[in-house]
Structure 1
Amino acid sequence: MKFSKKTATVCAFVLGAMILTATAFADTMLGSGFNSLKNSVKSTMTKLTGEVDNFSADMIVSVKVDGKVISESTNNIKIDVSNQAEEMSERTLNKGKITESYRYNDINQSIYNNAEDDSYTVVEKRKNNNDRKIIDNPFEEEQVKDAEKILDAFVGNLQDIIQLEESGGKKMYIGNLSDTQIPPLANAISSFAFKYAILDEWNAKRLNIPSPKSNIYLVNASGKAVENEDGIIESGIFTASISAKDNEGIEHIYSLDFSIDIKDINNTVVAAPNLVGHEVTYNKEGYEFDSKYIGKYKNDIVETKGNSFEKIGERFIEITSVKDGNIKGKYYEVYNEGYKAESIRSFDFYSNYDESIYFTKLHYLNENGEKKTGIIHQNGQQNINVSFDVEIDEENGGYSYSNYDDEFDSNFVRIFE
C-alpha cells in the first residue's frame, strides 16, 4: 500500500515511536503474551495478503506536541486481494490545513482524484509490469526477518507486561509501559534513534514544531489489540508519549495516537470510480515521451589538445515521432571542415513502450550492422540524456554502457529554431 508524502511523514513518526517503544518493550516483554501477540500479527498478515479475498482497513494516526494536534491522518483502505485492486481515501490535517485525496489502483491502471477541482488522472500501467501485488506480506522480507531476530534477542527476564485475555472466542492483548520499567540502555538507544532518525531537525522544521535535542526519554506507552475467532487482529490501539528538551532547554511532550480497524473481510467491494462528467487526464506509467519532445537536440564533440579543449564537431539526435509512448528518430555526427574522424556514426533508432519497466530502450544498428541497445531519459524540462551500446540488468533495474568512448557526452540540448 502506498501513501501520500504527508501521510508518509506521519507514518514515519508512527514507525519511529514504535521502534522507540519496541526497544524498551523488548527488554520487558516475556512469556505467552509477547509470543502469542507476535505470532498473531504474523498470522494476520499471512491471511490478509493471501488467504482472504478482500478486506477493509480504517487507520487514524495523530501526532501531538504538548497536547496540541500538529498532524493527523485518517485513511480508509479497501483491498481486493483476489482481483489485485485497491481504493484509498485519505483525510489529512497538517498545520491546521485539511486536505483530502483518493486513489484507485489495479493491475492495469492507477486513478488519482484532484480534490481542488474534482478532476482525475488516469495512469496506464506497463503491460509487463502488471504482475505487481497490491499488498505484500512484510514478514516475508529479509529485513523484517532480521528485525524479528533482533527483537527476540532483546527479550530479557523481567516481568510479563503483555497480558492476554480470552472471551467469546476472541483474544485481547493489553500492554502498558512506564518510564520506570525501561532499562537505561534501551532508553539511550531509543533516544538516539528518536533524535537523529525519527524527528530530526529537517522534519521538525517541516512540521513547525520544536526539535528534540536533549534529555529524551519515553514517558509512557500502552496498547491493545483484539484477535478474532479466525486468528486475525481486527483492531488495535497504540499510544505513546516522549519527553525531550529543545535548543533552549524547554521540555516538550511528543505524543502519538494510532488506531487501526480491519473489517468487512470477504465482504469488501473495490470498484474504479465513475469518471463520467469529470475532467480526466490520461498518462502512461514510467519514462514517457510525448509529442512535445519531437524535435532536434545536439551537443558538442570536443577533444583535448595539450591543456585546452577544442570543438571538432557536433552530435545530433532528432526525435521524428512519438506515438503511444513509442519513439522514432535518428542519431548522426557532423565534424568540422578539415577534421578527419576515424568513423562518422549515423543510424536510425526506435523504442517499444512496454519493453521495460525501468527504461525507455532504444534499438538501432551500429556502423557495423550489429543490433545494439540504448537508453533515453528526459533531462530537465526540455532536454534529453541518451546512452548508446548499453548492457541492461532488467531484473535489478540497472545498466552499464560504453558510449563508444570516454569523450562521448550523453547530455543533449534542445534546439529551438
Structure 2
Amino acid sequence: MIKNKKLMMALSFTLGTALLVSTAFADIMSTSGYEHLKQAIKYTSKSCSQDLENFTVQTSITLKNNNNVLFTSIQTDKYDNVSGATEHKSSSNYCNGITSINNSYSDKKCNIWYNSWNDTYQVYEYENERERTQFEDIFEDDEMKDVEKIIDAAVGNLKDYVIVENNADGSKEFSGSLADAQIPALVNAISSFAFKRAIPDLGVEMGKLFPKIQNDVYIKMVTGKATVNKDGILERIYGSGIMSGKDDTGTSHDLTLEVLIRIYDINSTVVTKPDLNGKNIERRYENSELDMLIDQKYIGKYKQDIVIVKDNAFTKIGERIIVIDNIDDKYVSGKYSETYKEEYAEYAKDKWEFDFNVVINENGMTQFEHIIDDNNTIIVNIVFISDTGGIYFHINPKTMHSLRKINFNSDFIRVFED
C-alpha cells in the first residue's frame, strides 16, 4: 500500500488517486493514448506541487451493490501554494443513514479541525511559521514508481479500444471501455485486487455494508473518460468499474464503483480560514522551549471515563486506560485498553486494546494508524499537555461514533498513586 494515505479515496485527493482510478481503465488505452494520459497525470502532479499558485480539487465517489447505492462521498480540497493554506471539506453518506462530515483548515501558523460529533473546533497553533509542502508530487515517491511499472506491464498490447480526440483549443479528450471478455487475466486480477483494497478506505461503515465477495470474482466492465486542457493539466478524470462475484452463501453481486475527480479554479481559488467567533474551541499550543517538549515525566497511567446516557442521566460504564511505558528522544511507546463494568458487558464485546510505538515529530506530537480489523482503520494523534500533565489522545471521533455509538472525549487525565 502507498505510504501516503492522501493517495487513497478516503478521502484526501492527490493525483495518485487519479492514477489508481486509471488502473481500472488503463487497459482500454492504446499505447499512444495511455502514454499521453499518463504524462498528463505526471505533469499535473508536478504542476500542483510546484507551479500553480492555487487550485481546487473535487473528488466524487459512488459505490453500488446490484444498483442499490451503498455509499456516496464528495470531497473538496482547496490549495494555496503562495500563502501555504489548505482547506478541506467532505461529506460521506451511507445507506444505513449515517452521515460523516469532515472539515479542516491548515496554514503555516495553525491547524484547525472541525469535530461534527460534538460541534467543536480543535485548534493547534504554532509559535513560528512552518515550512510545509502543500501538495506532494506523488511521482517522487519510490513506491509510486513501482506502481507505475506494474500498471505499464498490465496495459500490455491492448490497442484500438481508445478514442483520443484533439480539440481545436488544444485540449484532449480520452474515452474508452472494455467488457469482461476483452480484459486480460493479469489486468483482471490486478483490478479486482485494487477494487477490493479500495473499499475499506471509503470508511469504517463499509465493513458492515459491503458484501463479502469471495468466489468467482472478475471485472465485468470498465469505462473511463479524461479531459486534459490546452496547458497539459488534467481537468477531469472519470473511472467506472463493475466487479462481479459471489458471497459465501452463493449470492451473486455486481459492485459498481464510480470515481470522478475534477481540478478547477486554477489560479483563482480562495482558501478561507474558519470564523471561530462564538464557536466551541479546544485550543492547543506548540511548546516554545526545548525543555517543554515531551520527556520521561509523561511516563505513567492515564484514564478517561466511558459514559453513556441512560434514563436521561449520564452513567459511567467503564474506563479507557492509556499507559505510557517509555519515552526517548525519538519514540513514545505504550498501550491503550478499555474496561467495562460487569453489568455493561454487552459493550465489552467490541472493546479495543492495542500497543503502540510511534515516532515523535518535530512538533513534539505523534500520529499513527492502527488497524482494528480487515475493514476498519483508525488514525490516532497524541499531544502531551504541559500545564496539566495530561495527554490528548485523539482517535478519529467520527470513526469512533459511527462504529461504536459511544461518546468519546480526547482528554485523558493522569492517574497519581497515593
Which TM-score tier does this pair reach, normalised by the shorter chain? 0.5 to 0.7
1:107-152 Cα offsets, whole Å, 9 max, x none, are: 2211122335643211224758x32312201011111112112222
Judge conservation of contact 1:174–1:225 (CA < 8 Å) in 2: yes
Judge conservation of contact 1:62–1:73 (CA < 8 Å) in 2: yes
- The one-letter amino acid paired with 2:291 is S
- The one-letter amino acid paired with 2:74 is T
Q: Which residue of 1 aligns with 2:57?
A: 57
Q: Which residue of 1 aligns with 2:347?
A: none
Ranges in structure 1 where 5+ consecutive residues have no aligned partner: 286-323, 327-349, 354-359, 363-373, 400-412
Ranges in structure 2 where 5+ consecutive residues have no aligned partner: 304-320, 333-357, 362-413
Q: If the length of structure 2 is used for normalisation, what is the TM-score?
A: 0.65
Q: How does 1:202-217 map to 2 (within 5 A)?
A: 206-217=207-218
Q: How does 1:259-278 map to 2 (within 5 A)?
A: 259-278=260-279
Q: CA deviation at 1:276?
A: 1.1
Tell me the C-alpha RMSD between the 2 structures.
3.6
Q: How does 1:268-307 map to 2 (within 5 A)?
A: 268-284=269-285
Judge conservation of contact 1:16–1:198 (CA < 8 Å) in 2: no
- The one-letter amino acid paired with 2:324 is N
Q: Which residue of 2 aligns with 1:131?
A: 131
Aligned residue for 1:21, secondary structure, equals coil
Q: Which residue of 2 aligns with 1:245?
A: 246
1:52-99 Cα offsets, whole Å, 9 max, x none, are: 110112221111111111111111211111121111111110232223
Q: How does 1:76-225 map to 2 (within 5 A)?
A: 76-94=76-94, 95-115=96-116, 118-125=119-126, 127=128, 130-167=130-167, 168-191=169-192, 194=195, 197-198=197-198, 206-225=207-226
C-alpha separation in 2, matches of 1:92 and 1:378? 38
How many pairs does the alignment contain? 314
Q: How does 1:20-39 map to 2 (within 5 A)?
A: 21=24, 25-26=26-27, 29-39=29-39
Q: CA deviation at 1:198?
A: 4.6
Judge conservation of contact 2:221–2:242 (CA < 8 Å) in 1: yes
Judge conservation of contact 1:375–1:386 (CA < 8 Å) in 2: no
Summarize the Cα distance change of 1:84–1:2 in structure 2 as closer, same or farther, 3 Å threshold. farther
Q: If the length of structure 1 is used for normalisation, what is the TM-score?
A: 0.65
Q: Which has the larger radius of gyration?
A: 1
Q: CA deviation at 1:189?
A: 4.5
C-alpha separation in 2, matches of 1:122 and 1:211? 40
C-alpha separation in 1, matches of 2:205 and 2:194? 14
Q: CA deviation at 1:162?
A: 2.9
- The one-letter amino acid paired with 2:40 is S
1:148-174 Cα offsets, whole Å, 9 max, x none, are: 122223332232323211112211111
Judge conservation of contact 1:31–1:160 (CA < 8 Å) in 2: no
C-alpha separation in 1, matches of 2:417 and 2:55? 54
Summarize the Cα distance change of 1:90–1:198 in structure 2 as closer, same or farther, 3 Å threshold. closer
- The one-letter amino acid paired with 1:352 is M
Judge conservation of contact 1:170–1:229 (CA < 8 Å) in 2: yes
Aligned residue for 1:226, secondary structure, equals strand
- Among all aligned residue pairs of Structure 1 and Structure 2, give the percentage whose two residues are the same amino acid: 28
